[in-house]
Amino acid sequence: MINRHSPGSTRRLTLGADKGYDSVDFVAALRRMVVSPHVAQKARHSAIDGRTTQHRRYALSQRSRKKIEEPFGWAKTVGGMSQTLHRGINRVRAQFTMTMAACNLARLPKLLAA
């Protein structure tokens, strides 16, 4: 999808990713494609420098990423999706749908209280 982005566009794209993508090659390739790398920083030897992390949008991107990844972490630890017992796309899809519905039900009291 990034390859379809035209560098002449007025709006700069951002790409969010986890720490596994914090490599010099990946970040340099994104910058060549005129894409801002909103990759989570490694504790040591990070390819993301102050040019990216000083911006307000980087912090917003990291908070949004956390909101997206929390349900998937819940599904793996509590919902049993780390190693599914089913075979076949349709059965795994059904298990995933039920697990995410259970995750939403578990989050519902906290959301209603807010």
The model's pTM is 0.61
Q: Which domain holds residue 105?
A: 69-114
HSE-CB of 16 using CA atoms within 13 angstroms:
13
- The region that residue 17 occupies, defined by phi over 0 for left and psi between -120 and 50 for alpha, beta otherwise, is beta
- Provide the domain count of the chain: 2
Do 49 and 74 belong together in one domain? no
**In this structure, is residue 63 part of a structural domain?**
no
Average pLDDT over residues 33-51: 81
Do 50 and 11 belong together in one domain? yes
**In this structure, is residue 73 part of a structural domain?**
yes
**In this structure, is residue 64 part of a structural domain?**
no
* pLDDT score at 110: 87
For residue 15, what are its two tokens? 């790409």
* Residue 37 near residue 26 (C-beta atoms within 8 A): yes
**In this structure, is residue 60 part of a structural domain?**
no
Do 38 and 75 belong together in one domain? no
* pLDDT tens, position by position, 45-60: 888 877 777 888 888 8
Query: What is the pLDDT confidence band of residue 7, given thresholds at 50, 70 and 90?
Result: low
